[in-house]
């Protein structure tokens, strides 16, 4: 196949990877904006390289005209979670979406591969709108924890280095470290609630501070400078105390003050029309 044809083949996959990455990243953003825990920690995507496609064609005896049908991972999305418990939640989110259709699932979390590889795979059908019209492609979504991702990244590099013939002593080390990742994931699950609480508080505080500062900023055109300086000093004092409840109370009070100023400015405008 010529270069031009490879580009024609891969372009819709590139579009799909970009769209899917935005969609899943946006889910994370939405959770955080609402101050709730997101089962999605990070999203990455890639289009399989031509050399990797050629390798797989050779390995699996795939003809050029069979690539799209038989190679499900030309478009690949990776969703990284903090905890093992998040993986089925992300899988459910994907199953319930109407813009993609799950056609296959492989659970290498429950059924670890003999290499030590763990991850949950979903093959989906996804439609992109290209200049030539709609096109439905297949994409592979790999869902895994940070620990599983760490292990598979290292192992993948070694597979590349040893051309899929990793020496036995290294294989054994990899298997032992895969077991350690299982232990690590389990340990993290045990303190999951505490970690989630801490992260939610951190995010809540960040959202509150952003809203308070925006409110103070808005007051600049409505209140006098001395009043604003006083409010700002009060904010720094409450912030220094590090008490989330006090910060929430301050936020509410500031809302009421801002509302008062806004009402005043509207009635002033009306009087002067």
Residues with active-site annotation? 140
Does 261 engage in binding with ligand 0O2 (CB under 6 A)? no
Q: Closest CB to ligand 0O2 among 71 and 212? A: 71
Does 177 engage in binding with ligand 0O2 (CB under 6 A)? no
Q: Which of 113, 125, 176, 262 binds ligand 0O2 (CB under 6 A)?
A: 113
Q: Which of 23, 62, 117, 261 binds ligand 0O2 (CB under 6 A)?
A: 117
Site string for ligand 0O2, 33-72 (x = CB under 6 A): ---------------x---x---x----------------
Q: What gap in Å lies between CA 82 and CA 221, rounded to an integer?
A: 43
Q: Closest CB to ligand 0O2 among 16 and 223? A: 16
Q: Beta 100-107 vs 120-130: how paired, if at all? A: antiparallel
Does 82 engage in binding with ligand 0O2 (CB under 6 A)? no
Nearest to 122 by CA among 101, 98, 152, 102: 102
Q: Which of 82, 138, 149, 152 binds ligand 0O2 (CB under 6 A)?
A: 152
CB of 111 to ligand 0O2, least distance (A): 11
Does 121 engage in binding with ligand 0O2 (CB under 6 A)? yes
Number of residues engaging ligand 0O2 in binding (CB under 6 A): 12
Q: Which of 95, 106, 171, 251 binds ligand 0O2 (CB under 6 A)?
A: 106
CB of 75 to ligand 0O2, least distance (A): 11
CB of 2 to ligand 0O2, least distance (A): 23
Q: Which of 40, 87, 148, 155 binds ligand 0O2 (CB under 6 A)?
A: 155
Binding stretches for ligand 0O2 (CB under 6 A)? 48, 52, 56, 73, 106, 113, 115, 117, 121, 152, 155-156
């Amino acid at each position: 196949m010529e270069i031009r044809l490879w580009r024609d083949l891969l372009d819709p996959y590139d579009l799909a990877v970009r769209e899917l990455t935005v969609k899943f990243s946006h889910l994370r953003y939405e959770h955080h904006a609402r101050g709730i825990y997101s089962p999605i920690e990070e999203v990455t995507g890639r289009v399989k390289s031509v050399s990797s496609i050629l390798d797989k064609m050779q390995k699996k005896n795939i003809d050029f005209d069979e690539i799209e049908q038989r190679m499900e991972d030309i478009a690949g999305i990776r969703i990284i979670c903090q905890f093992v418990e998040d993986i089925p939640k992300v899988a459910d989110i994907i199953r319930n979406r109407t813009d993609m259709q799950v056609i296959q699932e492989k659970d290498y979390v429950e059924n670890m591969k003999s290499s030590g590889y763990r991850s949950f795979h979903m093959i989906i059908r996804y439609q992109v709108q290209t200049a030539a019209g709609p096109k439905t492609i297949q994409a592979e979504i790999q869902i895994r924890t940070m620990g599983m991702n760490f292990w598979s990244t290292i192992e993948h590099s070694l597979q590349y280095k040893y051309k899929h013939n990793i020496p036995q002593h290294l294989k054994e080390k990899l298997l032992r470290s895969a077991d350690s990742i299982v232990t690590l994931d389990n340990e993290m699950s045990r303190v999951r609630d505490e970690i989630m609480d801490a992260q939610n508080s951190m995010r809540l505080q960040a959202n509150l501070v952003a809203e308070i500062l925006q409110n103070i900023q808005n007051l600049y055109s409505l209140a006098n400078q001395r009043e604003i300086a006083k409010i700002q000093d009060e904010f720094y004092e409450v912030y220094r105390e590090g008490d989330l409840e006090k910060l929430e109370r301050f936020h509410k009070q500031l809302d009421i003050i801002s509302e008062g100023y806004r009402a005043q400015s509207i009635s002033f405008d009306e009087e002067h029309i």
